Amino acid sequence: MDAWSWPTVNANSAARVYVEFGQKGNQKDDGGEAVYNIAGTPSNFQVKARKPDDFMLTISMDNVATKTSPQGSQIDLGFRHDAAVNWIMSTDEAGQWWSNSGETIDWMQQSMGSLANRTLKQITMPGSHDAGMDRYDPGTFGANFANTQSQYLNVGGQLNIGSRYFDLRPVLSNGKWVSGHYSEIENLGWVGGNGQSIEEIVSQINEYVAFCILPQKLES
């Protein structure tokens, strides 16, 4: 591994780690391991990097289980060069371990034990910034994919991985309402590009409600 340095992570904090796979010789030999012991417990887990066929970061639940992942689970995070893959481990008020690796479609239903008596003001709600910008449709002069794209999943995909608050910025483009990512530049006016159509976003929200929320209510 060309870059593989993991710090101690204190409770109630996060760490950002830069990882770089070796680019010389036989890449199939690339590999890294970082073992994390959870202070005050006999539990531990590993962060692993492997490249048998493709770049991959994996959480190995060697000696710990969470509400969403049994002990021994191998949680593949993937790898995005010069972009983030995220993993969270936490406990609730009952002392149960949680991670973000389980089924996220109904995370609020799964969390009713700790959320039911709280107001929305007391809940940190996962959201999506410029949620409709998972793509780039040509816009104005100076705009391109690199400076307009904000997401790599569409709104339907964001719902499925747990996002519940969406920052949408509609614009009217060629007679059609679409998501936009624009900034006002002095002497140039508004500069930016378009993303997902509002029609498609509404359709994906309706599909999520119909197939994920309503059937669960009917069965309960």
pLDDT, tens only, 15-28: 999 998 876 666 66
Q: How far apart are CA 40 and CA 107, in angstroms?
A: 28
Q: How far apart are CA 45 and CA 87, in angstroms?
A: 12
Handedness of CA 184, 190, 193, 196 (dihedral sign): positive
Q: How far apart are CA 71 and CA 109, in angstroms?
A: 23
Q: At 83, is the pLDDT very low, low, confident or very high (cuts 50, 70, 90)?
A: confident
pTM greater than the 0.75 cutoff: no
Q: At 216, is the pLDDT very low, low, confident or very high (cuts 50, 70, 90)?
A: low
The more confident residue out of 84 and 129 is 129
Q: At 30, is the pLDDT very low, low, confident or very high (cuts 50, 70, 90)?
A: low
Helix (H) or strand (E) holding 77: strand 74-78
* Strands laid side by side in the 44-50 sheet: 31-37, 44-50, 56-60, 74-78
Is residue 70 within 8 A of residue 64, CB to CB? The reply is no
Q: Which of these ranges, 95-104, 109-118, 140-149, 153-162, has the smallest mean pLDDT?
A: 95-104
Q: How far apart are CA 61 and CA 74, in angstroms?
A: 6
pLDDT tens track for 128-174: 999 999 998 888 888 888 889 999 899 999 998 889 999 999 999 98
Q: What single-letter amino acid sits at 196?
A: Q
Identify the three-state secondary structure at position 166: strand
Strand 170-173, strand 97-99: pairing:
unpaired
DSSP string, 116-160: TTS-GGGS---EETTTT-SS-B--STT--HHHH---SS-HHHHHH
Q: How far apart are CA 56 and CA 76, in angstroms?
A: 7
The more confident residue out of 113 and 14 is 14
**Residue 206's pLDDT is what?**
92
